[in-house]
Amino acid sequence: MLIDWAGLTMKYYDPTSKREKTAYIFVAVLPASSYLYAQPFADMKMGSWIEGHVNAFEYFGGVPRLLVPDNAKTAVTKASRYEAVLNRTYQEMAEHYGTVIVPTRPKAATDKAPVETAVQIVERRIIAKLRHTQFLSLEELKQAVFAEVQILNEQSFQKQPGSRRSVFLEIEQHELMKLPSGRYEYAEFKQAKVGFDYHVAAVDKTHYYSVPYQFAGKEVLIRTTSRIVEVFCEGDRIACHVRETDKRKRFITEHSHMPEKHKAVSNWSPRRFLSWAQKTGEKTKAYIAWLLESKDHPEQAYRTCAGILRIGSTVSTQTMEETCGIALTQKIFSYSHFAELLENQKQRPLIHENLRGKDYYQGGNNA
């Protein structure tokens, strides 16, 4: 199966934003019969690329033994004439279906001639035909394109007997591999380093998931689907969590991952943070103590505390103490909000009984 995005786009009305939007057309073709599949998407991101493949397999009723994509970023991480580096998600999808990805060679037009022909056919016979039709949703556009694909595949050839579909049924259908029992579930991958609090950030960067504390500081691979978050280290799965959707619950911690009695991880502990804060002043210590106590487990506040105390070392003791006092009163629990508050405090004029104002030098009794 050869795959590409059409060069021409289509338009549809988005009822949510109440604006006209652009749709990008995914095209897949089986080269022997020219039997093709096309589908509009709201973008050309990896999720759309994978969904297009899965839907094409199901439309054809089987899985081709080879996938031949262009060297687009959604398919290939690093292009090479001899050994391209494939996107991890794309590779996993291919493994799920038991097929193999062989990207076209850079600047080798003959490698992708059939799909370029299919793209031209889609552009001339479908996109051009529907260009004056107004679609009130992406779903409506999808249905219209699918109907035209059906017509195109059933239409008789002009210079030879049969149609795309009849040739497919005769010479290609039996060559396809069977579909697996379950559809591929789209997954995103991310390389990360486990923090000293033995948590890693998922792809959304708003939730942190725990791993066994012994892996603090290790490099890991995070696999995220719509349902689960898995963490791998050197090929072994070391953690698996149900994916959290509540933005208020930032840390997801498995009790078995924690060190006994909340012992320090990589020499960090609540006592050490409080001692660090004490060097600045009582207000700073009180604020750090509140941050540690506000979490279900103190380790969940380590990142925030470390960041706040480090940025606090760049300003005067008075500024840091005043900022921590305000932060505690306003219940500010995030590093970004504290940093913004600190910056505002730095810009305020300093008032102190030992400082002489401008009025002191404007005459009068200066004794």
Helix ranges, 98-235 (H): 113-122, 138-154, 164-167
Report whether 168 contacts 33 (CB < 8 A): yes
Domain 2-175 is in which class? alpha beta
The predicted structure's pLDDT at residue 367: 41
Report whether 30 contacts 60 (CB < 8 A): yes
Whole-model pTM: value is 0.66
What is the distance between the alpha carbons of residues 211 and 200, in angstroms, rounded to a whole number?
Answer: 8
The predicted structure's pLDDT at residue 174: 94
Domain ranges of the chain: 2-175, 188-262, 270-346
Mean pLDDT by 10 residues, the chain (367 residues): 92 87 94 93 92 96 92 55 65 93 66 77 92 92 95 89 93 94 90 86 85 91 92 94 84 81 57 90 93 78 86 91 93 88 79 54 49
The region that residue 130 occupies, defined by phi over 0 for left and psi between -120 and 50 for alpha, beta otherwise, is: alpha
What is the distance between the alpha carbons of residues 237 and 259, in angstroms, rounded to a whole number?
Answer: 19
Amino acid at 7: G
